[in-house]
Structure formats: structure tokens, C-alpha cells
Amino acid sequence: MKEKKTQNFWECCMVHKCEKPGCDNYEARRDLIQKIIDGQANPEEQKMYSEVIEHCLNCKCREYCEQELAIKNLLQTKLDRKRVPLDILEKIKSEISKPI
Amino acid sequence: MEDVKSSYSEEQKHRIFESEFLPHIDAMYNFAFRITNDEDLAKDLLQDTFYKSFRFIESFHTGTNAKAWLFRILKNSFINEFRKKSKEPSMVDYQDVETYYSHENVNEIISSDLKVEVLQGMIGDEVSNALNALAVDFRIVIILCDIEGFTYEEMSKILDIPIGTVRSRLHRARNLLREKLRVYAKSVGFK
């Protein structure tokens, strides 16, 4: 029963390679992929994802997921992280030390 | 701010400030800089946030998420006091966002010809420019989720919007960012 449910969920990917317009499961699948990308999928959702999409090499949803992960990685690794200027830090500390 | 108040001594207030608030100051400075696009405004916004956090420290409960609490104050200060001063005129019509979201189809989203190898070859300035080109409301969700690692639930509290709205806004923001990166990649000859 559960296997059938999973199969239906990914039918568009497996049978139509995501080319089917207006796929009924698109929103649910997109929600799942977003949770995977953000590390917020529960174990059952992770299993559902890996069981099908890992074996679907030409799937556009997989391509989309990989793009999103690459962009997330870019944001985490290639943007400069500034340190707060020391004078601002001192100013804040000094201000809150003043008696009210 | 929460209604239930704790009662802290002056010493406790300073200890909470030092041990729970100050460790997040760099993350908050980066957030302030990315949403204002102006170093002086970012400094003012940061100071304003920390002064408010100390003034309202009774509303903070030790052991709860200090970083999310501080980001919420910063975001509210930005919207209420700093947004009009920044060089960011762009506001998002959320009705448009929701309309777009509900009419999106799978082909529109996954037809992008942006290759993962091209993305991996991009440098920081290119990524930064693409992020800065987004309307600030979209930039905020990307920063909170992808850079600062907040959960949807934490973002929902910081932004005062339902989780479903967080996720739809994030989805839209990512599509826009991917499109900016794709256009950039094409302009410099990547195929």
C-alpha cells in the first residue's frame, strides 16, 4: 500500500520525466524537495525522496534539486562575512553599561 | 515582544547580554548590511537593535533562541524605522507573489539551463550582486534560511508570517535568484 502511494507520488518523474503539464503531484513534490534542500525533511520524507529520485538520473526535479543545493552552497561559502567594527562593539558595550 | 516577563537583576541582565546576545553580533551585522546595502545604516541598525534588546531584556527568556529573538528585533527596526532611509525602494506586493506562486507550473521552474558546474565556478562578487539585486523582502528569506540556517518555524516567528508563506516566499526568492545567476552566467559566456 505504502509502496503504491510512493509510486503515485513520483509517477510524473518516473513515467513522464517531469514533462507532463499540470501534474497533480507537482506541489507536493516541490514541497518535499524544498524540505530536502533545507534539511528539514523528516526521516520518512527523506526515505521517500531517496528511494525514487536517487535512481532517476534524467529527472528534471533531480536537476532542479541539485541546482538549488549548489546555489545554497554558493551562498554559504562564497559570500564575505564581515566582522563587526571594533568601535561599534565598544560603543554598544559602553552604552549599555551606563546607569539608567 | 512577549507579554510574560521575567525578572532579572542588573548583574543577570549584563550576563545575558554578554553570553547570549553578543555572540550573534557578527551575524546580525552581516544581516543588517545585506538588507540596507549601506555600511553606516547597518551600523546604526545594529546599535539600535542591541540597545532595544537590552532595554527589553525582561521579555527574553534564558534558554530560548536568542539569535531568532535578536533577528526579529532587527527586522522590525528595519521595517519600522530604517527602511525609508535605505536606498531600497523596492517593496514586494505579496498578493502578486501568492498569485505567481499558485500559477507556477513545473516546466517554468525546471527549464532553467543553469548548470551546476557553472554555479560552482562563480565567485563571491557575482553571488553577492545577484543577491543584492533581489527585492529586500526576498533577500531577507534567503539570508535567514540559506546563510543563517534558521528553520521555517523560526523564520515564521522572526517575520511574523505563517510557515506556508515563509515557504512560498522562499521558493519565489530562489527562483528569482537562480534567474539572476543564469542571466549573469549567460552574459559572461557560460553555456
Q: How many CB atoms lie within 10 A of CB B98?
A: 15
Nearest residue, CB atoms, A72 vs list B54, B106, B146: B146
Nearest residue, CB atoms, B105 vs list A21, A34, A85: A21
The whole-number pLDDT of residue B99 equals 47
Indicate whether B132 pLDDT > 50: yes
pLDDT per residue as tens digits for the range B85-94: 766 545 555 5
A9: contact with B, CB 8 A cutoff: no
Give the residue with greater pLDDT, A51 vs B4.
A51
- What range defines the domain where residue A37 resides? 2-97
Note whether A71 contacts B177, CB cutoff 8 Å: yes
The whole-number pLDDT of residue B111 equals 45
Give the residue with greater pLDDT, A16 vs B52.
B52
Give the residue with greater pLDDT, A19 vs B53.
B53
Domain annotation for chain B: domains and CATH numbers: 10-82 (1.10.1740.10), 94-187 (1.10.10.10)
The whole-number pLDDT of residue A95 equals 92
CA distances from B82 to A18, B33, B35, B41, B108 (A): 44, 12, 10, 8, 36
Indicate whether A11 pLDDT > 70: no
The whole-number pLDDT of residue B102 equals 46
Determine the distance in angstroms separating the CA of B94 from the nearest CA of chain A, rounded to an integer. 19
Size of interface A-B (CB pairs under 8 A): 105
pLDDT per residue as tens digits for the range B50-85: 999 999 999 998 889 999 999 999 999 999 887 777
The whole-number pLDDT of residue A67 equals 86
Measured between CA atoms, the residue of chain A closest to residue B28 is A84
> Best residue in B26, B105, B146 to probe A by mutation, most A CBs within 10 Å?
B146
Output DSSP code: residue B59. G
Backbone phi, then psi, for B7, in 5-degree steps?
-120, 115
Determine the distance in angstroms separating the CA of A13 from the nearest CA of chain B, rounded to an integer. 11
User: Which uninterrupted H or E stretch holds A9?
Assistant: helix A2-9
Q: What is the largest distance, in Å, between two alpha-carbon atoms of chain A?
A: 70
Which of the residue ranges A23-27, A74-78, B35-39 would you say has the lowest mean pLDDT? A23-27
User: Cβ distance B56 to B1 under 8 Å?
Assistant: yes
Q: Mean pLDDT in chain B?
A: 84
pLDDT per residue as tens digits for the range A20-73: 555 656 677 778 889 999 999 999 988 888 776 666 655 667 777 888 899 999
pLDDT per residue as tens digits for the range B137-171: 999 999 999 999 999 999 999 999 999 999 999 99
Residue type present at position B161: I
> Best residue in A96, A97, A100 to probe B by mutation, most B CBs within 10 Å?
A96
Nearest residue, CB atoms, B147 vs list A63, A75, A97: A75
Q: How many domains, chain A?
A: 1
